[in-house]
Structure 1
Amino acid sequence: MSTTDFSKQLNNLQLFLFNFAMRLTNNHEKAKDLVQDTSLRAFRYREKFQMGTNFKGWIATIMRNTFINNYRKEKRQRTVSEPVEELAYSLESTTIPSYAAEINLRMQEIHHKIDQIGELYSVPFLMHYRGYEYQEIANYLSLPMGTVKSRIFTARKKLKDAIERVTS
């Protein structure tokens, strides 16, 4: 496809692209930016378009992927712009006990409850709690990932039931 034909087809889809962008962003200005980014990327990679395929679908896929990538980038870039003192003050809570001894007792109770649910459930639960991903836990325990997810879910349920029995 020649550059002029490509440009004509892209121009014919501008209204479609804007409407699609509005559904993704729910913001007029962001939708215009997304259409512009999509058009730029489509034009940059026009050689990758294969004749005989759905041009509208190809453009829509570029827009969707651009939106997702921008969303993820914005999510990573969100930072707190308040001074550290204000942030530290906002993190203080009245629900947290002020005495270290009371905190230690509560943590001991929680660890005791975790020990009571059995090693079968507590090991994957604690690994997940410490930040391991499901696949890492599955590899370490030589289990299918579905089994790991099931055991973590069951551990949460058992812990919730045990804690509710104590508080009620």
Structure 2
Amino acid sequence: MSTVEFDQLLLDNADFLRPFAVTLTRDHETANDLLQETMYRALANKEKYNVGTNIKAWLYTIMRNIFINNYRRKAKQHTIFDSTPNEFLLNYNQSVVANPAEGNMKLKEINKALESLPEIFKKPFMLYFDGYKYHEIADMLQEPLGTIKSRIHFARKLLKAHLERH
């Protein structure tokens, strides 16, 4: 196929590429750039086109690959690098001391809240807290699955309300 015939073939099929470019980019200006890049790549690689094959499919593939490569390139460019100096850390010599008393007080509050739960909610909740699955708890307590889920949900709500008050 001569260069003139190939060029004419590209021009005849360029109109079919425009809607595809708009669909990919969702912007007319970017679509025009994509179409232009596709035509350039097709001209630059005309020796790779097999005469008699579907030119539209070949052009669509070129366009799709250009779009994907550009998308990946832009995704990498949107990575934010923080290059601000962290000078405030230079003179930051404060040490952190663990306070087990505070943790123990919170643990006592949680245990107190657990003990205040009605037995009907406490038993399924404690089994769930120990790592059992809903269906296992339902089998152990011989209750419907929905009932177990409901009781565990209400236990959480009661615990949350109790801990917010204290």
With the length of structure 1 as denominator, give the TM-score of the two structures: 0.49
Q: Give the TM-score normalised by the residue count of structure 2.
A: 0.50
